[in-house]
Structure 1
């Protein structure tokens, strides 16, 4: 395989990470004091783990999209609908960080992460029908979304007025 033949694969791997990198800037800007002062479950990954895990997951689902694109004849074949659903999943995923960390809307973020999970399950299933390996690659992503959904739910439940926490921090 020549170098130029790898470009679509590399592009597919990089694409989902673009939104992840952009979300990282929003997250870092809002960790202190807002996020750090929220009540969070004791059992959760450390903050530093989220970046590497998301990078690995995004790279994996990007590679899966390349496999489906290649095996399913791109947008001219049976891969068209699964790839559209995948694009919808990426957009929904990229929107979560600005909702949670930017707007600090924990409940809307919870609805959003449920949409992300539903579209991830659908995408994984549709990818599996075209290229089983691509569907299997979605399993860690869906599992991590389950953890992320639980964390979002727990934080929303335990912090009914998160913006008040931020205001209180500024007055101390």
Structure 2
């Protein structure tokens, strides 16, 4: 049963991803098609593949940190606390953007998320370098996603006004 924590912590991020996929699926075919989007936006089919990979990497990284800290110990409070914060922010973005159609709020939220991922990486590095480096593709993808969110907000100025 020593594999159970690894499996559980690796799978954990996918729970929010499944909910996010549920929220997104309907909106991608309806509301999202009405938005002005930049030409460099990745194809919609890329997103589930990328997020599955990123969630697996961050989940496994959290397991490495958990294991190195001896579980949920005092040593784990800061690195796993930052991880929990970024995970909550990650899970919150989709309902804000796709569910509530709040483009500006989603932009502010994803900037906070990106900062929280950076803080998580910094806190993980002295504990387990591999775990920290597993978050590098996630941080890079968030930079792209933040740029995309910004462009969509900028190019759809009436959207937030209609919702407020």
TM-score (norm: length of structure 1): 0.91
Q: How does 1:23-172 map to 2 (within 5 A)?
A: 23-162=20-159
Distance in 2 between the 1:121 and 1:83 partners?
A: 13
Off by >4 Å, runs of 4+ in structure 1: 163-166
* Gap regions ≥5 residues in structure 1: 167-172
Distance in 2 between the 1:95 and 1:57 partners?
A: 16
Which deviates the most, 24-33 or 102-111? 24-33
| Secondary structure in structure 2 of the residue aligned to 1:130 | coil
Distance in 1 between the 2:160 and 2:18 partners?
A: 25
Which deviates the most, 28-37 or 137-146? 28-37
Q: Which has the larger radius of gyration?
A: 1
Aligned-CA RMSD value: 1.5
Query: Aligned pairs, how many?
Result: 163
TM-score (norm: length of structure 2): 0.95
